[in-house]
Amino acid sequence: MPKEQAKRTKLVIGNWKMHGRLVENAVLLQAVAAGAATLQKGVRTGVCVPAPYLAQAQALLGGSLAAWGVQDISAHVQGAYTGEVAAGMAADFGATFAVVGHSERRAYHCEHSDLVAVKALRALEAGLTPIVCVGETLEQRDNGSTEQVVGTQLEAVLLMLSEEQATKIVVAYEPVWAIGTGKSATTEQAQQVHAFLRAQLASKGAAVANVPVLYGGSVKPENAEELFAQQDIDGGLIGGASLKSNDFLAICQAAQNGSV
Ligand code: PEP
């Protein structure tokens, strides 16, 4: 394994999306807490749950080695923004992570990169780690603009943050055409974009180059190890497979295999 890769901790984060109910969540969270205890130091895990279940995540994951977080936060600190959840509110429930700029938010809620950048800043101000999602559509990939698209998305966030703040983010490369489709990027496709993103991070400062860059898009137990073995892939943001404890924990295990 390349030396550079071994230095960075692997991170496997579940994104439950709008799934779950109290009873089934409890089973899943308990399994994640138990599974996290079996992971070695080089791997961290956590789940980003729907906001109403933050208290449940805190109750069942608190004291375990698994972290929890939310899938979106408001760009505002507080105020008359009906239905929104502030970063500070998630922090009140012990959250570590806030996903920002997920492609489903960009597509269904018209979130543009400047708004995503403000959300990343709000997360950091509240002590949360923003997981900044970037990714191209199939059409953009086919017309050769993948790097231009993900580069512009990441640049908006890097421009908003100081160098010191930028060292505290996580980036997730999630090709839109691979999310929830069962069609993952090949390891070569993913590594190529990750290397590009890593270089862009490095241009913000040497320490920024080492922020985790996760891959997301139909990661499964069968393809996780090969993806995570790539030099610039530091783990995964896992959607569908994070709803099945066996699959999610097998993916965490795959990260462990790639980290030692
Ligand atoms: C996601 O929702 O971020 C995701 C990567 O989904 P899936 O793993 O289901 O493709």
pLDDT at 259: 57
Q: Catalytic one among 111, 136, 174, 194?
A: 174
- How confident is residue 260, by pLDDT bands cut at 50, 70 and 90? very low
Sign for the pseudo-dihedral over CA of 238, 243, 244, 248: positive
Model-level pTM?
0.96
Residue 112 annotated as catalytic = no
- How confident is residue 2, by pLDDT bands cut at 50, 70 and 90? very low
Torsion of CA 111, 146, 153, 51, to 10 degrees: 50
Supply the mean pLDDT for the chain. Answer: 95
Residue nearest (by alpha carbon) to ligand 1 atom 1: 239
Residue 174 annotated as catalytic = yes
**Residue 223 C-alpha from the chain's centroid:** 18
Q: Which helix (H) or strand (E) holds 246?
A: helix 245-257
Q: Which atom of ligand 1 is nearest to the CA of 216?
A: 5
Sorted by where each begins, the domain ranges of the chain are 3-257
Residue in this structure with the two tokens 């709000």, named with its chain if needed = 122
Q: In this predicted model, what pLDDT tens digit does every residue of 153-199 receive, in sequence order?
A: 999 999 999 999 999 999 999 999 999 888 888 999 999 999 999 99
pLDDT at 258: 63
Superfamily designation of domain 3-257: Aldolase class I (3.20.20.70)
Q: In this predicted model, what pLDDT tens digit does every residue of 95-132 receive, in sequence order?
A: 999 999 999 999 999 999 999 999 999 999 999 999 99
pLDDT over 80 (residue 84): yes
